[in-house]
Structure 1
Amino acid sequence: MTRWVLTGTDGSPRSESAVRWAAEEAVRRGTGLRILHARPWPDTAYAHGSLASDLRPAALRALAETAERVRRAHPGLLVETAVVDEDPADALLSAAKGQELLVLGSRGLGGFAGLLVGSVGLAVAARVDVPLVLVRSNGTAEPEDAGPARREIVVGVDGHHASEAVLDFAFAEAARRGARLRAVHGWDLVPAWTAAGWVPPQVNATTREATEQAALAKALAGAHAAHPDVDLVAETRLGGAAHAVVAASAGADLVVVGRRDRHHPVGIRLGSVAHAVLHHSAAPVAVVPHG
């Protein structure tokens, strides 16, 4: 076995929720599970007291207890653990190289639908070179309840520039789960601006929608042919890509979006759609990097 489902834990309820999700996914994929705990330990000057000697054994004990809970829940699943003396984002990015999948926890939906992904999750999502799943937590070790499960995967699709990697991931995940795949393409009527101000789009909405539906069907054809048993629903929604995917996420088991590798003067950054979906989706989100 050369590829693993990797997950990170810091002992918080949201990371425990991610561990549970990752273990179930490892069983579905027939891989093992690696659980990583990473933290920058106190430097030598700070560590002369008892704090440094207490931290590592406590982390090792907590990690061993987490692994044992997973083994009891999934007999036969191969589980490995590691404690790394490194910044969490850097450690996760390094450990994820060449692995099947990375799974992390994120804050659950609270009193406002925004800012749901912590700094580590965003840093990793922008740079990791394998698919990443961010799992919502409701403050306990259970994944957040986004409503009645309907055994459905949602994938956001750019009908005119679809990514094979994103579609292959979404179709394969739907096939593993025996779930319906809902492919969503959002589009907008773009207004024009003149010296006199805003001018409504001079486009027939019905004609434009037919064009977008045809583009979506064409984009999905190859991946669907490779997974003919997957129940596919293709839909276009007026209102933009991020809005369309977030609206479809309610009740889904997983939402899949792409992350194009765009190099920015200050580093790789998430695209606007992936960023919005990560913050606002009601379901776990898979971010799939692609060229």
Structure 2
Amino acid sequence: MNPSIVVGLDGSAESVAAAHWAAREALLRDVPLHLVHAADWSSPLGVPATGTAVGREWAEALLRDATHELRDLHGRLEVRARSIDGRPAVSLATAAASAAMLVLGSRGLGTLTGFILGSVGMGVIHATERPVILVRAHEDALPHAEGLHTDRDVVVGVDISRPCDALLDFAFEEASRRRCTLRALLSWTLPPLTGYGAVYDPGLHEQMGDSMTVGLDDRLQPWQDRFPSVDVVARATAGHAAEQLLKAGAEAGLVVVGRRIRQSSLGAHIGPVTHAVLHHSRAPVAVIAHR
């Protein structure tokens, strides 16, 4: 794997914020940062479209200015830049095929917190198995933000019913680099009642909670053994997973969620929990593909 971070840059405030977030992450990992602008300049008939030359010049200027700004802000950061002709989602996924991660900007929901995950973002998530980070254009991601974004916790959602090694690998490694607390959340619900007049045994809720807590601790133990310096706060709570993650991640530095890799070509298969977190989290969100 090429130890670099790739960021998609299109000139929007969101992509600029993503570039600055990615720069701090690259410094944290001591790896190069690659700025990539991707656009399909050709017409459907293969004839150069009107304004192609102007568009290419604009893209080159965008990359040049961003490179100079990031180098000025972070003197020891290695920054490279290139423009790619092709469909943005596919081109970005290809550019990041061997990178540590791909960082993208995502438009906010107006006065509400969260993201609008557009066709490019969704296409990239579907097209790559590399970690994809979505960053909003709020002040925590802007150039004047201090430090290397290590002052806030990392939050990860865990499902003990399915393997999620890649998810936990990423979350623990990120918390270790940042030297911050890792908050691992498992959300569960009681099974539905059946039969007329059925009621829960008063002790069932407590028993389920104890069982889930033990299951979560068991799932995390191998990673805690590998990363003894990481302070882990594990919590199993009853409720909807997306709501719990959004609440826990409200002040987090990064929320880590997973998507299962499937063979079907239909959809990006991000699942309802990841879908909700992507659209409503204020914090940057890392989507980790796992089997």
- Please say if residues 186 and 240 of structure 1, whose CA atoms lie closer than 8 Å, have aligned partners that are also in contact: yes
- Residues 131-188 of structure 1, C-alpha deviation per residue, up to 9 Å, x if partnerless? 1111111399728x9xxx9520001011333412111111111111111100011111
- How far apart in 1 are the matches of 2:230 and 2:206? 29
Alignment partner of 1:188 is 2:192: no
1:277 Cα shift? 1.2
Alignment partner of 1:110 is 2:99: no
Matches within 5 A, 1:20-39: 20-39=20-39
* Richer in strand (by share): 1
Instruction: Summarize the Cα distance change of 1:285–1:141 in structure 2 as closer, same or farther, 3 Å threshold.
Output: closer
- Please say if residues 123 and 268 of structure 2, whose CA atoms lie closer than 8 Å, have aligned partners that are also in contact: no
1:267 Cα shift? 4.6
- Residues 259-279 of structure 1, C-alpha deviation per residue, up to 9 Å, x if partnerless? 110233525421222111111
Q: Where do 5+ consecutive residues of structure 1 fail to align? A: none
State the match for 1:221 in structure 2.
221
AA aligned to 1:58 is W
TM-score by length of 2: 0.89
Question: Percent identity of the aligned residues?
Answer: 39
State the match for 1:234 in structure 2.
234
1:111 Cα shift? 3.2
- How far apart in 1 are the matches of 2:290 and 2:272? 15
* Cα RMSD after superposing both structures: 2.5
- Please say if residues 162 and 219 of structure 1, whose CA atoms lie closer than 8 Å, have aligned partners that are also in contact: no
- Residues 101-153 of structure 1, C-alpha deviation per residue, up to 9 Å, x if partnerless? 1100111243345662222112212331111111111399728x9xxx95200
AA aligned to 1:229 is S
Q: SS where residue 95 of structure 2 aligns?
A: helix
- Please say if residues 14 and 140 of structure 1, whose CA atoms lie closer than 8 Å, have aligned partners that are also in contact: no
- How far apart in 1 are the matches of 2:207 and 2:276? 28
Matches within 5 A, 1:1-291: 2-43=2-43, 47=48, 49=50, 51-112=51-112, 116-138=116-138, 142=142, 151-194=152-195, 201=200, 204-264=204-264, 266-291=266-291
Q: SS where residue 36 of structure 1 aligns?
A: strand
Q: SS where residue 287 of structure 2 aligns?
A: strand
Aligned residues: 285
1:87 Cα shift? 0.9
- How far apart in 2 are the matches of 1:190 and 1:111? 37
- How far apart in 2 are the matches of 1:42 and 1:140? 37
- Please say if residues 14 and 141 of structure 1, whose CA atoms lie closer than 8 Å, have aligned partners that are also in contact: no
- Please say if residues 109 and 138 of structure 1, whose CA atoms lie closer than 8 Å, have aligned partners that are also in contact: no
Q: SS where residue 104 of structure 2 aligns?
A: strand
- Please say if residues 114 and 278 of structure 2, whose CA atoms lie closer than 8 Å, have aligned partners that are also in contact: no
